[in-house]
Amino acid sequence: MYLIVGLGNPEKQYEKTFHNMGYIAVGDAADALGARFKKKECEASVAEAYIGGEKVVLARPLTYMNNSGRAVKQLMSKYKIPPENLLVIYDDYDLPKGKVRIRASGSAGTHNGMRSIIGETGLTSFARIRIGIRDEAVDIPIINYVLSEVRKEDYELFGAACKRAGEAAAAFAKGLDIERVMSQFN
C-alpha cells in the first residue's frame, strides 16, 4: 500500500497560490491513476486507486500547511503505511520556479509543512517531490510570496511542473522504486 500526499492549504482563497503546488500535483497523480477525491478522513481529503490489487491512498491534508504532519501521521497509522511507501509533494522556495526535484529522503529545509511531517512522524527517510517556486525577479518576504497567487504568465510553467510531479508520483505508486523515479523524472 502506498500513501501519496500533496501539501497545501484547504480554503478556496489559497487555490492558486504557490503553497498549493502539492495539492495541484497530487490531483494530477489522482487523474493519472483514475482516482477521485471523494471522502474525508484523518484530517485529509482522500482519493483511492488500486494498481494490480495494491491500494494507493492519495491525500490533501485539511489541517493547513503548518500542521500537515497530523494528517500524515494519522493516515500512516490507519493504513499501516511503511515509510518507504510514503511520498510527499510540495512547493520549494529553494528551487527555481518550475523545476521538479525528487529525493529519497532529506530534511525539511525551509518548508513548515515538511517540518510538521518530520516532527509528527519522526521520519526523514521518505520520498519527496519538490516543485520549485522561487522567482529571482520577485523580492518580497517568503511568507508573503508562498501565499501569493501564481502570475497568469506562469500558469503554463507551473501546470507543466505539477503534471510532471503527478506523473512521477503515479510511477512511484505503480511500484517504480524511488531511484528509478529520480532518474526518469529529475
pLDDT digits (tens, 9 = 90+) for 88-146: 999 999 999 999 999 999 999 889 999 999 999 999 999 999 999 999 888 888 889 99
Give pLDDT, residue 45. 98
pLDDT confidence of residue 143 = 87
Q: Are 63 and 8 in contact (CB under 8 A)?
A: no
DSSP the chain: -EEEEE----SGGGTTBGGGHHHHHHHHHHHHHT--EEEEETTEEEEEEEETTEEEEEEEESS-GGGHHHHHHHHHHHHT--GGGEEEEEEEEEEETT-EEEESS---TT-HHHHHHHHHH----SEEEEEEEE-TT--S-HHHHHTSBPPGGGHHHHHHHHHHHHHHHHHHHTT--HHHHHHHH-
Cα-Cα end-to-end distance for the chain: 24
**How do strand 54-61 and strand 100-103 relate by DSSP bridges?**
unpaired
Give the relative orientation of helices 21-33 and 155-173 as an angle to the nearest 10 degrees: 50
Mean pLDDT for the stretch of residues 152-163: 96
Q: How far apart are CA 62 and CA 67, in angstroms?
A: 9
> What is d(CA 150, CA 168) in angstroms, rounded to the nearest whole number?
22
Query: What was the pLDDT predicted at 109?
Result: 87
Q: What is the pLDDT of residues 16-48, one digit of tens each?
A: 999 999 999 999 999 999 999 999 999 999 999
For residue 142, the model assigns a pLDDT of 86
**What is residue 139's predicted lDDT score, i.e. its pLDDT?**
87
pLDDT digits (tens, 9 = 90+) for 50-99: 998 999 999 999 999 999 999 999 999 999 999 999 999 999 999 999 99
Domain annotation for the chain: domains and CATH numbers: 2-185 (3.40.50.1470)
- Catalytically annotated residues: 19
- Quote the pLDDT of residue 138: 85
Supply the pTM of this predicted model: 0.96
Check residue 128 and give its pLDDT: 98
Higher pLDDT, 158 or 140: 158
40, amino acid identity: K
The arithmetic mean of pLDDT across residues 154-158, rounded, is 96
